[in-house]
Amino acid sequence: MLAVGETEQVQATPPSAKGGDRAAPERRRSAAPGTPMRALARCSIAGCSCGGTCGGHTPRDVSSAAADLVGKPVARRGELPLDATLARAVLARSSTSSRSSGSGGGGSGGGLPVAGSACKVDVRATHIGGILSGMPIWHLFVVTTDGAGTERYYRGGPGGPGGGPTYGSIQTNDGLYVAGTVDWSPGAPSTTVLSGAAACGHDACLAAELRRIDGTRTAYAPTGPNSNTVAATILANCSIPRGKPVWVAPGWSDPAI
């Protein structure tokens, strides 16, 4: 059986010792002109449809050719050899494409998760304690989730240098959102303001915004600016939609820091 992109050439063997009859023709494989195997392989790896510049062959054709040549570097006149590494890359891509397209005609079943589909940005709330614990007033912070499910928090609070004599300035902190960290509350009210691929990759901006806010040494006030002002500010400055899961959050609507 011939691999794709090859034509059959017939080469006669010498006459036999008896009667001069020729033995059955010996068949060998050679590349069809205009469809070099390395070009077909690179076309498949790049993800194109393998039409036009790829000689009209489908990805399945290219994969079949690569399968035939894995481990068998073949040098052909006028083109580079298709080595085993390149052939395996073709096969790997074909296997991934087959799994992601699913077994049904519509291609929607059995697919691999889309990269970044798990990313999201949440605004979460914890109840303010102390003398205000009896009132429905909330502290807001931001939590991001990356494609692997890892959560990071970004928040602000009182106690920084300078500012007023009672609360000091706004100081911020961030890190992995795990048990034992500040604001840890798995059942906290939460609203997702961004999800999917658009929600990936915001951590660097959010962290940079916190460092910038620290540098302003803005005086903290219970009614704002405060932690809720920090949450609203970093969302807006990192082009993330604003939203909150609770009603009463003083400082949320204050001017950005």
pLDDT digits (tens, 9 = 90+) for 153-207: 999 999 999 988 999 999 999 999 999 999 999 999 999 999 999 999 999 999 9
Burial class (CB in 10 A: 0-12, 13-18, 19+), 227: buried
pLDDT reported for residue 148 = 94
Q: Percentage of the chain surpassing pLDDT 90?
A: 49
- Does pLDDT of 128 surpass 50? yes
The predicted structure's pLDDT at residue 197: 95
Query: Is the torsion defined by CA of 235, 239, 243, 248 positive or negative?
Result: positive
For 66-119, what is each residue's pLDDT tens digit?
455 444 444 443 433 444 444 455 445 444 444 444 434 433 334 444 556 799
Would you place residue 2 in the very low, low, confident or very high pLDDT band (cuts 50, 70, 90)? very low
> Which residues lie closer than 8 Å to 159 by C-beta, 6 or more apart?
167, 168, 171, 220
Which of 36, 40, 58, 62 is CA-nearest to residue 49?
58
Which residues, including other chains, have CB under 8 Å from residue 190's CB and lie 6 or more apart? 122, 123, 124, 125, 143, 245
Per the listing, tokens 């992601």 go with 100
**Which pLDDT belongs to residue 133?**
60
Give pTM, 2 decimals.
0.57
List, in order, residues 6 or more apart from 123 with CB less than 8 Å away: 140, 141, 142, 143, 190, 191, 193, 231, 235, 242, 243, 244, 245
pLDDT at 236: 98
Q: What is the pLDDT of residue 74?
A: 43
